[in-house]
Amino acid sequence: MKMLLTLAWRNLWRKKRRTFITVSSVLFAVVLAIVLMSMVNGMKQQMVDSIISNTTGHIQVQDVLYHDEPTMDHAMEYSEEVRQAVSRYGEHIDYSVPRIEGFCLASKEVSSRGVYLMGILPEKEDRMNNLSDRLREGKMFGPDDQFAVIGRGVATQLNLALGDTIVLLGQGFQGMMAAGKYPVGGILEFPLPEQNNTLVYLPLKEAQHFFAAPNRLNSLILMLYDQRMAEELSEKIRNELDQEWYTTRTWLELMPDKVAAFEARDAQVRIFAWVLYVVAGFGIFGTVITMMHERLREFGILLSIGLKRAQLAGICLLETIFISFIGVMAGVAVGFPIVYRFYLHPIHLPDELGEAMIDYGLEPMMTFSIASDIFIYQGLTIFFIALVVGLYPVRKVFRLDVISAARK
Amino acid sequence: MKTVIKTTNLSKVYTNTAVPVHALKNVDLSFQQGEFTAIVGPSGSGKTTFLNVIGGLDKPTEGHVIIDGTDIATMKESKLFDFRLRHIGFVFQAYNLIPVLTAMENVSFIMLLQKQPKKEMEQRAREMLEQVGLSDKLHARPSQLSGGQQQRVAVARALASKPDFVLADEPTANLDTESAFNLLDIMSRLNKEENITLIFSTHDQRVIDRARRVITLVDGAVDKDEQFDRN
């Protein structure tokens, strides 16, 4: 074995240019794959983070019927049972965000329009999605205040300014009439018109009072330290609750359309990645074929003097392993600083592209991921492809006609 | 004297050509231990085919090749690899050596494949390189040696494992006169000292003049088989 290793290793450096070309093929394939997947995963993570922080959170505790019929009648009681179930897994939960929300009719004098009223704890929302950063006029309420903060679109369409009164009418808990009037204390601006034109915020306690649902929530959002724990933790917390009344849902269950869109996008990326792998594979294959033809006579002589085919095949395979390993490690070494640079300094997208992202509620920048599994998976994939290509000389050795090879 | 190789009714027909080529026709020959034989003849006379067949690199279409009591014509390829390793030494025309190994490592290579003890192997390799006059080139790679020196290393490698016989396919074809004479002196001496059977295929008159037996092949058949006293 030592002899095979020695021969394989020394053969690598015998024709440095050939080895350099093959290693370079592997290196470029790894770098391209890492940069591509880092960009794709970074963008995906950016979207996921946006969805999680702006809408669903990682997990929501809800009334068991709320998801299928999201009405105020299915607001859950924020009971001791819920508090305890959540606090039992407190080491995995960064913070929780209680919300009560529902559609209402908002009006000022003779103008009215449908709005979406959210009862919130502002400091919790700020942790989750920096809501206060979107404040353009006035101030954000505290938990015990009694004024509303509204979207710019709502203000424009109802001709509301700071200090004006907004009248809200809606359906309260168990058929109660929900009605109230609140001074406008602040105006927010959102990137999405849908949010701008519909959102009205009240302090949680005031909104519960408005909906005649004291101590009730539509959802208790849980923000985790580790997003990957969502499904496991959701199940654990659900098992702690009386499932006749309560359930838990992860962001994946709450946003099935987004998940389907991600899966479709992932499939496209996989096709692109495989095109890259195939191109890389042929690049490596080309140098391997050249190497084989250059060394046919040498192989013939080695087999003539007594080296067994399996031993010669072993040398070829070891050479491929060495080349692939060096190429992959070099590719990771080159690829990491590139993606790390863009991880620290994301690419700011030009106007049109940027606006499209803003429309989706995203920052107009291309972010990169430095998750270790990108490097491991891409490195191993290219390594495996190089190994498969490396089987060509092995197959050739087993089929080699010793005499004609030795005469080449 | 012990018979090292015996061929009977040895024929080889190449059928993968437009017209079948009869490369060997009913060749009956015996080689005794310690012989220095040159196989001569014009191009296409079957010299290399004969060496390939008795070296177990190629299968005859008909006939037998008996070496050490074993008919290698019927032997399976996997056994032939092992048989060649243990019984036959080869010296080719060029590119004989493994380019990435030093002279010492090249000479040791076959003994390594034979799994000989390291100490004995190194001692024998050193001794053989001394015998071919390359004691100062033990650690040189083939690219650092002249063509003649490379062939001397190839001879040392072929003889180091003490095979039953050595087959040399035109070993002097690429050498200048001085290197060729030098190589032939060494091979003649080793033939006598180690009593190793040497069989050359050659066009080279310098080799023919040293051989004690000259077999002439014409169109795949033995035309002449002559013995000479070279003492």
Tokens read off for B229: 């006293």
Q: Are A63 and A55 in contact (CB under 8 A)?
A: no
Pairing of strands B165-169, B88-91: parallel
Using alpha carbons, select from A339, A305, A307, A323 the residue that is nearest to residue A387: A323
Taking only residues 33 to 62 of chain B, the set having a beta carbon closer than 8 angstroms to any beta carbon of chain A reads: 52, 55, 57-58
For residue A53, what is the DSSP state?
I
DSSP three-state, residue A399 = helix
Give the closest residue to A128 by CA, choosing from A103, A104, A93, A161.
A93
Q: How far is B229 from chain A (nearest CA, A)?
A: 32
DSSP 8-state symbol, B45: S
Helical H segments across chain B, by residue range: 47-54, 77-87, 103-113, 118-131, 147-160, 177-193, 205-210
Distance separating alpha carbons of residues A250 and A89, to the nearest angstrom: 15
HEC assignment per residue over A62-76: EECCCCCCCCHHHCE
Beta bridge partners of A151: A188
Nearest Cα residue in chain A from B114 = A306
CA distance B162 to B106: 15
pLDDT tens digits, A61-105: 999 999 999 999 999 999 999 999 999 999 999 999 999 999 999
* pLDDT in 10s for each residue of chain B, 231 residues: 788 999 999 999 988 878 888 989 999 999 999 999 999 999 889 998 999 999 988 899 999 999 988 899 888 888 888 888 888 998 887 767 888 889 999 999 889 888 889 899 999 999 889 888 888 999 999 999 988 899 889 988 988 888 889 999 888 887 788 888 888 888 888 888 888 899 999 888 888 888 999 999 999 999 999 988 876
Three-state DSSP class for residue B206:
helix
| Domain spans, chain A | 2-52+258-406, 65-244
H/E element holding A201?
Answer: strand A199-203
Cα separation, A200 vs A108, whole angstroms = 14
Distance CA A13, CA A3 (A): 16
For residue B93, give the chain A residue with the closest CA.
A407
**pLDDT tens-digit series, residues A152-185:** 999 999 999 999 999 999 999 988 889 999 999 9
Cα–Cα distance measured from residue A361 to residue A356, given in angstroms and rounded to the nearest whole number? 9
Question: Hey, what are B98's tokens?
Answer: 């493994």
Q: Dig out the tokens for B14 from the structure.
A: 């190449």
> How many residues in chain B?
231
Q: Which of A14, A305, A308 sits opposite B110 (nearest CB)?
A: A305
A238, amino acid identity: R
- The token pair at B161 is 């494992």
Distance between CA B164 and CA A301 in Å, rounded?
A: 19
Q: Is the pTM of this model over 0.80?
A: no
Q: How many CB pairs under 8 A join A and B?
A: 53
Spell out the domains of chain B, with CATH numbers in brackets.
3-227 (3.40.50.300)
The terminus-to-terminus CA distance of chain B in angstroms comes to 18
Note whether B101 contacts A10, CB cutoff 8 Å.
yes
CA dihedral sign, ordered B181, B182, B183, B186: positive
Q: Is B14 on the interface with A (CB under 8 A)?
A: no
- Cβ within 8 Å, pair A7-B112: no
